[in-house]
Amino acid sequence: MASSSSSAPAVGPEIPWVEKFRPTKVADIVGNEDAVARLQVIARDGNMPNLILAGPPGTGKTTSILALAHELLGPNYREAVLELNASDDRGIDVVRNKIKMFAQKKVTLPPGRHKIIILDEADSMTSGAQQALRRTMEIYSNSTRFALACNTSSKIIEPIQSRCALVRFARLSDQEILGRLMVVVAAEKVHTFSVCDKYAVLNYTLLEQLSSKLSVKSVNVLNVVTFLISEMHFPAFI
């Protein structure tokens, strides 16, 4: 998914590639075909159930929720979506106040559409906050749906789990990651580059080599790619 501006050198403040190339449509999310197919049905039909998206880091959970919310709510996104991530306080007071106030807010939406509260990294919420969340979830289910992202669904209290559809994300294969990386590399016209991780700096001049070399270090591929995409300030770019 290359944006139309991606073929031109970036002007003004650089958008980190991790954001620039974050898919904006559910259909553009790589891998996890079953999960993506389920989310596409919801995007098409509406009536989003409460959702838990669970899986390892960097597999597209947050990306999927954001894309789904945009597809469902379009121009209403700003007033109909509340995003709370791990850097926001999501303790019991926030659940009682901010989340509840948003759930009570009246927003006129088309049939089959609901306000959405996105709780990223929900497994880091205390059980007290989760209990309060469960009640809000129950009370406002007519107007407001929740989408929780987490690494481990077992850290979500059972009463919330039982009110949510669970969508599991698995690690992407090396080929899937590399395929996506190649999209970035092609869009940014990168021909020669360095791949850095904590322990090594590897120079590959041919993209084909990158593919075979990286799969040897498969455990680190995701880290390397995440690092590559998020910390694009290597002097070695030509």
Ligand X SMILES: Nc1ncnc2c1ncn2[C@@H]1O[C@H](COP(=O)(O)OP(=O)(O)OP(=O)(O)O)[C@@H](O)[C@H]1O
Which CB atom, from 62 or from 153, has the smaller least distance to ligand X? Answer: 62
Distance of closest approach, residue 116 Cβ to ligand X, in angstroms: 16
Distance of closest approach, residue 7 Cβ to Mg ion, in angstroms: 28
User: Nearest CA to 184 among 236, 235, 232, 221?
Assistant: 232
* 9 φ/ψ angles, rounded to the nearest 5 degrees: -60, 140
Minimal CB distance residue for Mg ion? 62
Which CB atom, from 63 or from 130, has the smaller least distance to Mg ion? Answer: 63
Q: 61 vs 45, 58, 77, 118, 128, CA distance in Å?
A: 20, 8, 18, 11, 24
Which CB atom, from 51 or from 103, has the smaller least distance to ligand X? Answer: 51
Q: Does residue 63 interact with Mg ion by CB under 5 A?
A: no
- The answer for 237, left when phi > 0, alpha when psi is -120 to 50, beta otherwise, is beta
Q: Which stretch binds Mg ion (CB under 5 A): 55-63, 105-113, 169-177, 211-219?
A: 55-63
Q: How many residues does the chain have?
A: 238
Which CB atom, from 133 or from 147, has the smaller least distance to ligand X? Answer: 147
Q: Does residue 62 interact with Mg ion by CB under 5 A?
A: yes
Interaction site with ligand X (CB under 6 A): 18, 21-23, 29-31, 57-63, 149, 151, 172, 180
Distance of closest approach, residue 67 Cβ to Mg ion, in angstroms: 13
CA angle 62, 23, 122 (to 5 degrees): 0
Rounded-to-integer distance, Cα 129 and Cα 119, Å: 12
Q: Give which of ligand X, Mg ion, none residue 50 binds (C-beta under 5 to 8 Å, depending on kind).
A: none
Distance of closest approach, residue 65 Cβ to Mg ion, in angstroms: 8
Q: Does residue 130 interact with Mg ion by CB under 5 A?
A: no
Which CB atom, from 104 or from 124, has the smaller least distance to ligand X? Answer: 124
Q: Which residues of 86-119 are buried (b: 16+ CB within 10 A; e: fewer)?
A: eeeebebebbeebbbebbeeeeeeeeebbbbbbb
Q: Give which of ligand X, Mg ion, none residue 57 binds (C-beta under 5 to 8 Å, depending on kind).
A: ligand X
- Compute how many residues bind Mg ion; rule: CB under 5 A: 1
Minimal CB distance residue for ligand X? 60
**H helix runs in the chain, sequence order:** 17-20, 33-45, 61-73, 77-80, 92-94, 100-104, 127-139, 158-161, 174-187, 207-216, 218-230
Distance of closest approach, residue 57 Cβ to ligand X, in angstroms: 3
Residues in touch with Mg ion (CB under 5 A): 62
